Structure 1
Amino acid sequence: MTLFLAAVAASTSHAQSGPFAGMAGKWSGGGTVTLEDGSSERIRCRATYQAIGPSMDMSLTCASDAYKFNLQASVVDEGGAISGTWSETSRNIGGSLLGRGGGGNFQVVASAAGFNSNISLRTSGNKQSVSMRADSQFRAASISLSK
């Protein structure tokens, strides 16, 4: 859940130029999430990214048969350094995002009280992959999106 929030925050945008160029718009796809007990579930996801210059706002919703989360994030790029905030609205939790990236590849850490998630995002053309590792209820996730 919080794990996904972070991934989304580093994800995509709506600008034709700038650090988030090429990632704007609506994306959908799926993947798997691994839970604390080692079990995994298939998830379906939808994302929307909007960017203006070095800033980006995103929204990500993912669900399985038994689980759902809604992530919102706002980030800013300053010379390849990414910073911002995220919130997971269905669980009323949020925190900060810090990392580096450019050219469609981003590495960020999403943090909140008692939570950290490492997120890797790669975008190439109309395909995007998100990998997350967390130290909480959600241990890992792998998501593939397309637009």
Structure 2
Amino acid sequence: MAGTWSGAGTVTLDDGSSERIRCRATYHVGGPRMTMGLTCASDAYKFNLAADVQAEGNAVTGSWSESSRNVNGDLRGRGGGGNFQVVASAPGFNADIAMRTAGNKQSVTIRADSQFRGANITLSK
């Protein structure tokens, strides 16, 4: 998973509208710890997600932040072998995030309960 990935997808907003986005992700892996940066943008929408997670067995815990909206919180879930299923939470915000990595392809699915409803992103290394 370590390295730089790029690709595209769609973001869905609370009014039901969706936009195509371009994304770039960077992962740094060291032992049981991983840091991640994901930036996605369209003509009218952008988000900058950062996370710092640690694995203990199959359990994954850590913290996340989204800099363009100044939101941050905790991550909890399960993962291993390039596949992660986590819940990102902050006051007034919860999102389910699934990441699947196979070879040089990665899919990221985010489902949230805020004005940002979700994203489906496909990345390649």
TM-score (norm 2): 0.97
- The residue number in structure 2 matching 1:65 is 43
Q: Residue 23 of structure 2: which of 23, 26, 45 is its match?
A: 45
Give the structure 2 partner of residue 90 of structure 1.
Answer: 68
1:138 Cα deviation after fit: 1.2
Distance 1:94 1:88 in 2: 6
Give the 3-state SS of the residue equivalent to 2:6 in structure 1. strand
How far off its partner does 1:132 sit? 1.2
For residues 1-147 of structure 1, the aligned pairs below 5 Å read 23-147=1-125
C-alpha separation in 2, matches of 1:57 and 1:104: 14
- Counterpart Cα distance in 2 of 1:31 and 1:103: 23
Spell out, residue by residue over 1:81-136, the C-alpha distance to the aligned partner (whole angstroms, 9 max, x if none): 00000011111110000000111211000000010001111000000001111100
| Identity of matched residues, % | 74
Output the CA distance in 2 between the equivalents of 1:61 and 1:38: 22
Structure with the bigger RCO (C-alpha within 8 Å, sep 6+) is 1
Tell me, which stretches of 5 or more residues in structure 1 are unaligned? 1-22
1:52 deviation in Å? 0.5
Aligned residues: 125
How far apart in 2 are the matches of 1:91 and 1:133?
17
TM-score norm. by structure 1 comes to 0.83
What is the CA–CA distance in structure 2 between the aligned matches of 1:69 and 1:132, rounded to whole Å?
12
C-alpha displacement of 1:58: 1.0
Letter of the structure 1 residue corresponding to residue 24 of structure 2: R
* Matched letter for residue 83 of structure 2: N
Runs of 4+ off more than 2 Å: none
